[in-house]
């Protein structure tokens, strides 16, 4: 079972900055045990759309207290990182930044297995990164990954609108995500709504086209995925359809793969109520510890 984050004084939290190959200053965060200089694993956290890496502070603390070195950055255009807010011209930009950061940390910690945790958009980025650099990881953990959008949110009209406006009005906001559907945990929703680093605007036309293209790409390349993975999804996720996770799990070539469904849970399973969030985190830690 996972040791819960308790004594935060035992964790050394450090902030930093990284200049991406595209010229953006990225805000970085590192969580390391003060008592152990030789972690068992390296774990990179890839956050979702509109949020930022420091939302995962408690989760990172738990991972550290289970003998892991955890690191992350705010994706370009998110949180404290530079770039137009929630806007890219291609998802390969996110992937470039992730690979660069992970390779830097791996050089500083040679011989230590590396894992990547990705939530929502971050899960999609994790899959794209795995396809680009399959030897980078000993395993990946996907939480509500963006593989198939929720059909009620991504209606044919909204997709058509995004394609029409993406070139002339790339920053035009075509849709919004209700904070009420991210999690059943009311405290999580409240903190999300009051967080100044969270993007509270809408989904932009060009970004929408980019994520749809990225989703289409990975759906064509499921067979190329061979890395060990743990796939988590809430059965009541209204943002990223569970259909995408089911499709992925049925078609990947990975010999070591696990798919867990959390009944009645919304999008952010690691913070869910009724003990399910704690169970999801424990499942993650236990899965990593066995590899």
pLDDT band of 4, cuts 50, 70, 90 = very low
The whole-number pLDDT of residue 5 equals 46
Residues 223-245 have a mean pLDDT of 97
pLDDT at 28 over 60: yes
Residue 275, domain member (yes or no): yes
Percentage of the chain exceeding pLDDT 70: 96
Contact 32, 12 (CB under 8 A): yes
Coil vs helix vs strand at 109: coil
Catalytic hit among 237, 245, 254, 283: 237
Task: Let me know if residue 65 belongs to a domain.
Answer: yes
CA angle 149, 117, 258 (to 5 degrees): 80
Taking only the tens place, the pLDDT of each residue in 192-225 is 999 999 999 999 999 999 999 999 999 999 999 9
- Tell me how far apart the terminal alpha carbons of the chain are, to the nearest angstrom: 15
Annotated catalytic residue 92: no
pLDDT in tens, 158-190: 777 878 888 889 999 998 999 999 999 999 999
Would the pLDDT of 6 be above 50?
Answer: no
Burial of 245 (0-12, 13-18, 19+ CB in 10 A): buried
Mean pLDDT for the stretch of residues 134-146: 97
Q: Is residue 131 in some structural domain?
A: yes
> Which residue, chain included where needed, has tokens 């849709």?
175
pLDDT in tens, 239-290: 999 999 999 999 999 999 999 999 999 999 999 999 999 999 999 999 999 9
pLDDT value at position 3?
40
C-alpha torsion sign, points 217, 229, 47, 42: negative
To the query of whether residue 267 is one of the catalytic residues in this protein, the response is yes
60 domain residue, yes or no: yes
Residue 4 lies in a domain: no
Q: Is residue 3 part of a domain?
A: no
* Predicted pLDDT of residue 157: 77
Residue 5 lies in a domain: no
Residues spanned by the domain of 216 = 11-290
**Which residue among 73, 75, 119, 267 is the active-site one?**
267
Name the more confident of 166 and 88.
Answer: 88
Considering the entire predicted model, what is its pTM? Answer: 0.94
- Domain annotation covers residue 2: no
Using DSSP, state whether 51 is helix, strand or coil.
coil
pLDDT at 7 over 80: no
Is 237 an active-site residue? yes
pLDDT confidence of residue 95: 99
Neighbouring CB atoms inside 10 A of 181's CB total 17
Measure the CA–CA gap between 144 and 270, rounded to whole angstroms.
10
In CATH, what number is assigned to the domain containing residue 258? 3.40.50.1820
Q: Of 4-18, 70-84, 188-202, give the lowest mean pLDDT range.
A: 4-18
Number of domains in the chain: 1
Is residue 1 very low, low, confident or very high in pLDDT (cuts 50, 70, 90)? Answer: very low
Residue of 20, 81, 120, 245 marked catalytic: 120
Overall average pLDDT of the 58-80 stretch: 98
Mean pLDDT of 40-65: 98
């Amino acid at each position: 079972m996972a040791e819960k984050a308790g004594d935060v004084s035992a964790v050394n939290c450090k902030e930093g900055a990284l200049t991406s190959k595209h010229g953006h200053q990225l805000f970085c965060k590192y969580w390391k045990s003060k008592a152990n200089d030789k972690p068992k694993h390296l774990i990179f956290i890839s956050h979702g759309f509109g949020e930022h890496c420091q939302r995962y502070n408690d989760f990172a603390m738990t991972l550290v207290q289970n003998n892991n070195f955890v690191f992350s950055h705010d994706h370009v255009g998110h949180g404290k990182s530079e770039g137009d807010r929630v806007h890219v011209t291609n998802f390969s930009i996110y992937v470039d930044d992730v690979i660069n950061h992970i390779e830097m940390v791996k050089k500083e910690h040679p011989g230590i297995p590396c894992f990547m945790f990705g939530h929502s958009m971050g899960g999609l980025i994790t899959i794209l990164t795995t396809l680009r650099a399959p030897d980078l990881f000993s395993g990946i953990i996907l939480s509500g990954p963006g593989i198939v959008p929720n059909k009620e949110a991504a209606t044919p009209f909204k997709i058509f609108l995004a394609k029409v406006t993406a070139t002339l009005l790339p920053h035009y906001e075509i849709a919004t995500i209700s904070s009420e559907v991210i999690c059943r945990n009311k405290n999580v929703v409240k903190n999300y709504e009051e967080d100044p680093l969270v993007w509270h605007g809408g989904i932009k036309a060009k970004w929408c086209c980019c994520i749809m293209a990225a989703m289409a790409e990975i759906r064509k390349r499921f067979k190329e995925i061979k890395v060990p993975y743990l796939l988590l999804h809430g059965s009541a996720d209204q943002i990223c359809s569970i259909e995408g996770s089911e499709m992925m799990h049925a078609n990947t070539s990975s010999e070591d793969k696990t798919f867990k469904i959390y009944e009645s849970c919304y999008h952010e399973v690691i913070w869910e109520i009724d003990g399910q969030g704690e169970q999801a985190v424990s499942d993650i830690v236990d899965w990593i510890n066995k590899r």
